[in-house]
A and B are shown apart, each in its own frame.
Chain A
């Protein structure tokens, strides 16, 4: 049976959409490196909906936790499931990931997005339109033909987020995406992430910047020394954190 291009497109989109990744669940996650325990029996579930901020001091294990959930790093103990099944590569496009330092392919901005769409199995006929949409939402349409690697740091990160969102992921994981950016670029990234969340994408955002966490979070997961010290709705977290470690972090005290 031959399907028209539109039908094929719908069929393939629904085929991918039919296989969710949420909830992301980590059970007993433990990672050791060089004799140190970097993640210590962490249990975490990312359910559809909120904008979750993972906070904690440097070296607490925030980024590591995010990488383990995305299956970039295999835990020494414990396991990760996506939608209660073992993760598989075919579902990777349903999970967007943005790195602290954006990785730009040696191609134009629009080709970077088209590449992600191609890997996700989006039919050729649809890629141009969706890549253009993704760039427009990131405010980068005027840079579509520019080589991605000559864009500014802020533009590169916006492009990285647009590329991650182009495949319409259920969940977007961001690992300190604004750590190297100035306030203007940071504001643009935060607006982009908020818009994606408002459009229905579940977001997990790692940061150690309290101001940023206040601006973004629906809920806060506080990670300290490889463990989750607490998980609290944002409105409570900043005024009455339940863990000593988080209280100290918010007050700016140095923790032993």
Chain B
């Protein structure tokens, strides 16, 4: 247990002194996960809104499939992206394996179903309210999707937040496609896994503390935005 206490002390020292390695790792984590969430939003929000608005045969099956995809195991996604990006794979010539871009792609695939499924629910609730009004104004399907996404934007932050939580916390996908290469593809979760197995608990714990603080900070910020919007009755 002495080790444990010492590890905590060392961890706080690393955080407070802004240890360069630590800063680099945290920075890459944020870049990769925010990039993944951004890309997932561009793809997932229209899918979610489209599913909320459209009525077609097989829609129920599509929704079940989408909800199941939220539980995709990161290692499986990592493996599939690895196969696609490896030298012999279809996207091999791009040379993306073991780069941050590969990590963004893998995390994006993990996040798209979450963003799409949560936004589908959010947008469908709003559509129940707006549908007849928009139709009498003469709004078409594409305009309806755009309007619903815009007017639900504060609620949709929740979808992006859930996606960010999944992206920043997962280790299975990024370790496979990124390779946990120091100064290149090492992010918080892969570093924690590595340092723990090496016995360097201080760095691992320091990263863990930052990861937790980040999660709390992002949630608090989103809640703050939504509360302000709620006061203005835009949400």
Can you spell out 29 A-B residue pairs with CB atoms less than 8 angstroms apart? A67-B132, A71-B135, A90-B138, A92-B136, A92-B137, A93-B137, A95-B136, A97-B136, A99-B133, A103-B129, A103-B130, A103-B132, A103-B133, A105-B151, A106-B151, A106-B233, A106-B234, A106-B235, A107-B234, A115-B137, A116-B137, A119-B138, A120-B137, A120-B138, A149-B233, A149-B234, A150-B233, A164-B136, A167-B137
The answer to whether A72 and B132 touch across the interface, beta carbons within 8 angstroms, is yes
Contacts of A106 in B (CB 8 A): 151, 233-235
Interface residues of A in 89-122 (CB under 8 A from B): 89-93, 95-97, 99, 103, 105-107, 115-116, 119-120
Given A99-B133, A119-B143, verify A89-B233 contact (CB < 8 Å).
no
Is A23 on the interface with B (CB-CB < 8 A)? no
Interface residues of A in 53-70 (CB under 8 A from B): 67, 70
Interface residues of B in 128-147 (CB under 8 A from A): 129-130, 132-133, 135-140, 143, 147
Interface residues of A in 164-209 (CB under 8 A from B): 164, 167
- The listed residue (A91, A92, A150) touching B135 by CB distance below 8 A is A92
Kindly state the separation between the CA atoms of A119 and B137 in the bound complex, as whole angstroms: 7
The answer to whether B136 and A70 touch across the interface, beta carbons within 8 angstroms, is yes
Contacts of A116 in B (CB 8 A): 137
Known: A70-B136, A92-B136, A147-B233. 4 other contacts (CB 8 A): A89-B138, A90-B138, A115-B137, A119-B137
Kindly state the separation between the CA atoms of A103 and B148 in the bound complex, as whole angstroms: 13
Contacts of A147 in B (CB 8 A): 232-234
Q: Which of B132, B135, B137, B139 has the most CB of A within 10 A?
A: B137
Contacts of A99 in B (CB 8 A): 132-133
Question: What 4 A-B pairs are tightest by C-beta distance, nearest first?
Answer: A92-B138, A103-B133, A97-B136, A147-B233
Kindly state the separation between the CA atoms of A95 and B136 in the bound complex, as whole angstroms: 8
- The listed residue (A72, A90, A105, A115) touching B136 by CB distance below 8 A is A72
Contacts of A91 in B (CB 8 A): 138
Contacts of B135 in A (CB 8 A): 71-72, 92
How distant is B184 from chain A, measured CB to nearest CB, in Å?
Answer: 44
The answer to whether A107 and B151 touch across the interface, beta carbons within 8 angstroms, is yes
Q: Which residue of A lies closest to B232 (CB)?
A: A147
Contacts of B143 in A (CB 8 A): 119
| Chain A interface residue count, Cβ-Cβ cutoff 8 angstroms | 26
How distant is B213 from chain A, measured CB to nearest CB, in Å?
Answer: 32
How distant is A83 from chain B, measured CB to nearest CB, in Å?
Answer: 16
How distant is B99 from chain A, measured CB to nearest CB, in Å?
Answer: 41
How distant is B117 from chain A, measured CB to nearest CB, in Å?
Answer: 22
Q: Which residue of A lies closest to B234 (CB)?
A: A106
Interface residues of A in 31-84 (CB under 8 A from B): 67, 70-72
Kindly state the separation between the CA atoms of A164 and B137 in the bound complex, as whole angstroms: 8
Contacts of A167 in B (CB 8 A): 137
Kindly state the separation between the CA atoms of A67 and B132 in the bound complex, as whole angstroms: 9
Contacts of B147 in A (CB 8 A): 105, 115
How distant is A122 from chain B, measured CB to nearest CB, in Å?
Answer: 12
- The listed residue (A89, A93, A97) touching B140 by CB distance below 8 A is A89
Contacts of A67 in B (CB 8 A): 132
Contacts of B233 in A (CB 8 A): 106, 147, 149-150
Contacts of B132 in A (CB 8 A): 67, 72, 99, 103
Contacts of B139 in A (CB 8 A): 119
Contacts of B151 in A (CB 8 A): 105-107
Kindly state the separation between the CA atoms of A182 and B1 in the bound complex, as whole angstroms: 71
Kindly state the separation between the CA atoms of A14 and B171 in the bound complex, as whole angstroms: 62
Contacts of A70 in B (CB 8 A): 136
Q: Which of A70, A91, A119 has the most CB of B within 10 A?
A: A119
How distant is A62 from chain B, measured CB to nearest CB, in Å?
Answer: 16
Kindly state the separation between the CA atoms of A199 and B138 in the bound complex, as whole angstroms: 23
Kindly state the separation between the CA atoms of A194 and B233 in the bound complex, as whole angstroms: 31
Kindly state the separation between the CA atoms of A244 and B55 in the bound complex, as whole angstroms: 44
Q: Which residue of B lies closest to A70 (CB)?
A: B136
Kindly state the separation between the CA atoms of A147 and B135 in the bound complex, as whole angstroms: 22
How distant is B133 from chain A, measured CB to nearest CB, in Å?
Answer: 4
Kindly state the separation between the CA atoms of A116 and B130 in the bound complex, as whole angstroms: 13
Interface residues of A in 113-160 (CB under 8 A from B): 115-116, 119-120, 147, 149-150
How distant is B78 from chain A, measured CB to nearest CB, in Å?
Answer: 39
Contacts of B130 in A (CB 8 A): 103, 105
